[in-house]
């Protein structure tokens, strides 16, 4: 199916043989062994491919749950106020999924995985090592996934070897602490290779076009039906054996762009999970004491104002510093987020620890900002655009308006550009946006990993298009450094560069706020911020 058909058709059912369902508007109360869990959120998925180019965060609500990986992260209970019965992923605990076990060679360079003998894809086909091999080969070839896989020293299909139908071997050049965690991320999903290869072409050998609008997986859920921009239904896969429990509740995920409608549904108890509510609504709901709100912090997830360092005038250090001193941080944090998060501004003048992300020293100082702009050679300012995702206006729009007002005071004229959700990721990847709001999190917990992903390289995630050879070198050095004092010194220098050269402006690390009904249990916060549905129960 072509992209325009995907976006315009009234219905898409899953692509493989297992997905023959048609959408019925009232199926939310249709026959099912389990209950129906209704989810309301703001944004719609823009691909079914776990490694799709320009994929958005809502896409993972589907791809994470319809595909398995060799391994996944465990979970641990949360213990904060109001968090009883909820969980968060455990980065330090990897557990089997499609693999039942694995071993690591003494030198840390060879990983051998034994697959579960009863693992199946949604069409009933057994999962074999050949499927895993094809899937990993794909992950190190397609653009979105290969950069991430490289962070775990997986770059070439020759590193993946089928030993027998139930055994796959992975070799890396040297021991890398990020190899195993990378296998638990979104991208190395295991595909039904027979189905995928049937839909590949000479110009699209990894079936990327087909997988954008079709599913060839074996995860805990199957895609029952899909109405673009409106809702999708995930049916529990009864033959799923790759976890500690097989889910039995149907998921009806509805896209409701209007925050007021989502809030009303939350107040009335008309949904089991409500996400993407503005900070004001969350504050009001908490003050009223009528609903349960899970506010979960992930300090490695940050909202930024990104400046394209590869594009004039943002290639000018003093311009970037001027903008950093112009941002109305406190007003934004209070008016947009209602303080539902950790601020990333107003930090100490000097680097005091190797914790990262951590607050930068900037606050709003328009006098200093104007002086820097004059020093940069722009006494009369300039014109630019500030881009926001049209599917994420709850935060993006008020931030853009406040930025527009603040920059006007130092002579910079800003036009706000709402980019269709399906294009935002692509434009970020292609480095075509001068100034924009971005939100992303480091999936692997380590300061050098964070800098490797967001402060160097040609990927989408280097939002500022920052290209400093010193940063590139010290990030590379830190990756293999085992002496803690030397490692800390390298990280300290990374932080100094991020603070001084300010390629991106961190605003805050927002809470992931979810209104959850009393009847729903098993909520688990995941590194990708989308829903882990298999643990939910009603």
Backbone CA torsion sign across 62, 63, 68, 71: negative
21 with 117, same domain: the answer is yes
DSSP line for 95-157: EESSEEEEEE-TTS-EEEEEEPTT-B-TTSPBP-HHHHHHHHHHHTTSHHHHHHHHTTT---G
- Looking at residue 26, its pLDDT comes to 37
Is the pLDDT at 89 greater than 80? The verdict is yes
Backbone angles phi, psi at 335, to 5 degrees: -80, -30
Q: Domain range spanning residue 408?
A: 301-510
Predicted confidence (pLDDT) per residue in 136-182, tens digit: 999 999 999 998 999 999 999 999 999 999 999 999 999 999 999 99
Beta carbons of 312 and 536 less than 8 angstroms apart = no
183 with 47, same domain: the answer is yes
Is the pLDDT at 359 greater than 60? The verdict is yes
Asked if residue 535 belongs to a domain, the reply is no
Of 518, 529, 458, the C-alpha closest to 272 is 518
363 with 240, same domain: the answer is no
354 with 231, same domain: the answer is no
Strand duo 231-236 + 221-227: pairing:
antiparallel
Q: Which two tokens stand for residue 464?
A: 């500022």
Asked if residue 287 belongs to a domain, the reply is no
Asked if residue 440 belongs to a domain, the reply is yes
Mean pLDDT, residues 267-285 taken together? 94
Q: Which two tokens stand for residue 273?
A: 């999970």
236 with 312, same domain: the answer is no
- Looking at residue 123, its pLDDT comes to 97
- Percent of the chain past pLDDT 70, that is, above it, reads 94
Beta carbons of 230 and 213 less than 8 angstroms apart = no
249 with 335, same domain: the answer is no
- CATH number where 244 lies: 3.40.190.10
- Looking at residue 178, its pLDDT comes to 94
Strand partners of residue 504: 306
Is the pLDDT at 320 greater than 80? The verdict is yes
Q: How many CB atoms lie within 10 A of CB 20?
A: 8
- Looking at residue 75, its pLDDT comes to 95
68 with 139, same domain: the answer is yes
Is the pLDDT at 420 greater than 60? The verdict is yes
User: Residue 181: how many CA atoms within 13 Å on its side-chain side?
Assistant: 18
Predicted confidence (pLDDT) per residue in 474-489, tens digit: 999 999 998 999 999 9
Q: Cα separation of 329 and 193, whole Å?
A: 49
Predicted confidence (pLDDT) per residue in 155-167, tens digit: 999 999 999 999 9
Asked if residue 462 belongs to a domain, the reply is yes
421 with 484, same domain: the answer is yes
Asked if residue 530 belongs to a domain, the reply is no
Is the pLDDT at 416 greater than 80? The verdict is yes
Contacts of 115 (CB under 8 A, 6+ apart): 98, 99, 100, 127, 128, 129, 132, 166, 167, 168
Q: Could you tell me the pLDDT band of residue 347, with boundaries at 50, 70 and 90?
A: very high
Asked if residue 283 belongs to a domain, the reply is no
Asked if residue 270 belongs to a domain, the reply is no
Strand partners of residue 438: 304
- pTM to 2 decimals? 0.80
Predicted confidence (pLDDT) per residue in 5-29, tens digit: 333 333 333 333 333 222 333 343 3
What rounded mean pLDDT belongs to the chain?
92
For residue 62, the SS3 value is helix
Backbone CA torsion sign across 259, 260, 261, 267: positive
108 with 192, same domain: the answer is yes
Asked if residue 534 belongs to a domain, the reply is no
- Looking at residue 25, its pLDDT comes to 34
415 with 483, same domain: the answer is yes
480 with 521, same domain: the answer is no
- Looking at residue 33, its pLDDT comes to 58
- Looking at residue 30, its pLDDT comes to 41
Beta carbons of 358 and 299 less than 8 angstroms apart = no
Q: Cα separation of 128 and 133, whole Å?
A: 9
Q: Could you tell me the pLDDT band of residue 297, with boundaries at 50, 70 and 90?
A: confident
Of 193, 179, 99, 181, the C-alpha closest to 137 is 193
Q: Could you tell me the pLDDT band of residue 527, with boundaries at 50, 70 and 90?
A: very high
- Looking at residue 10, its pLDDT comes to 33
Of 429, 468, 497, the C-alpha closest to 142 is 429
- Looking at residue 465, its pLDDT comes to 98
Counting the structural domains of the chain, the total is 2
155 with 68, same domain: the answer is yes
For residue 179, the SS3 value is helix
- CATH number where 498 lies: 3.10.105.10
Mean pLDDT, residues 38-44 taken together? 95
Q: Cα separation of 378 and 95, whole Å?
A: 55
Of 257, 220, 256, 231, the C-alpha closest to 24 is 231
């Amino acid at each position: 199916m072509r992209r325009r058909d995907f976006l315009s058709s009234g219905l898409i059912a899953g692509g493989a043989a297992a997905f023959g369902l048609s959408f019925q508007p009232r199926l939310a109360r249709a026959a099912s062994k389990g209950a129906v869990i209704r989810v309301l959120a703001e944004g719609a998925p823009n691909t079914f491919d776990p490694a799709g180019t320009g994929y958005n965060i809502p896409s993972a609500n589907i791809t994470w749950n319809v595909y398995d990986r060799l391994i996944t992260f465990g979970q641990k209970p949360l213990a904060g106020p109001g968090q009883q019965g909820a969980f968060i992923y455990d980065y330090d605990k990897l557990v089997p999924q499609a693999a039942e076990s694995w071993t690591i060679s003494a030198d840390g360079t060879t990983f051998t995985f034994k697959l579960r003998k009863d693992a199946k894809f949604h069409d009933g086909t057994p999962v074999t090592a050949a499927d895993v091999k094809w899937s990993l080969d794909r992950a190190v070839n397609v653009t979105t996934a290969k950069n991430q896989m490289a962070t775990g020293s997986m770059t070439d299909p020759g590193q993946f070897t089928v030993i027998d139908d139930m055994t796959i071997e992975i070799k890396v050049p040297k021991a890398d602490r990020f190899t195993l965690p990378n296998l638990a991320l979104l991208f190395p999903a295991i595909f039904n290779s027979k189905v995928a290869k049937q839909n590949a072409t000479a110009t699209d050998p990894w079936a990327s076009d087909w997988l954008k609008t079709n599913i060839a997986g074996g995860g805990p859920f199957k895609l029952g039906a899909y109405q673009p921009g409106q809702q999708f239904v995930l049916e529990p896969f009864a033959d799923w054996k790759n976890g500690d429990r097989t889910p039995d509740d149907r998921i009806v995920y509805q896209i409701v762009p209007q925050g007021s409608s989502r809030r009303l549904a939350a107040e009335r108890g008309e949904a089991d999970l409500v996400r993407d509510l503005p900070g004001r609504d969350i504050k009001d709901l908490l003050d009223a004491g009528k609903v349960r709100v899970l506010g979960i912090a992930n300090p490695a997830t940050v909202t930024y104002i990104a400046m394209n360092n590869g594009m004039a005038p943002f290639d000018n250090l003093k311009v970037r510093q001027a903008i950093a001193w112009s941002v109305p941080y406190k007003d934004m944090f209070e008016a947009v987020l209602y303080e539902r998060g950790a601020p990333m501004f107003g930090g100490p003048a000097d680097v005091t620890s190797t914790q990262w992300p951590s607050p930068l020293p900037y606050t709003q100082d328009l006098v200093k900002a104007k002086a820097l702009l004059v020093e940069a050679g722009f006494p009369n300012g300039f014109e630019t655009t500030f881009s926001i995702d049209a599917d994420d206006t709850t935060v993006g729009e008020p931030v853009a308006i406040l930025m527009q007002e603040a920059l006007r005071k130092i002579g910079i004229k800003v036009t706000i550009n709402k980019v269709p959700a399906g294009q935002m990721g692509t434009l970020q990847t292609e480095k075509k946006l001068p100034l924009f709001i971005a939100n992303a999190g480091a999936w692997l917990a380590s300061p050098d990993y964070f800098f490797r992903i967001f402060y160097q390289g040609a990927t989408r995630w280097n939002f500022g298009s920052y290209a400093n050879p010193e940063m590139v070198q010290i990030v590379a050095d830190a990756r293999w450094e085992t002496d803690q004092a030397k490692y800390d010194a390298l990280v300290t220098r990374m932080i100094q560069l991020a603070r001084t050269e300010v390629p991106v402006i961190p605003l805050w690390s927002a809470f992931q706020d979810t209104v959850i009904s009393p009847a729903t249990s098993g909520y688990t916060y995941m590194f990708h911020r989308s829903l882990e549905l298999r643990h939910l129960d009603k």
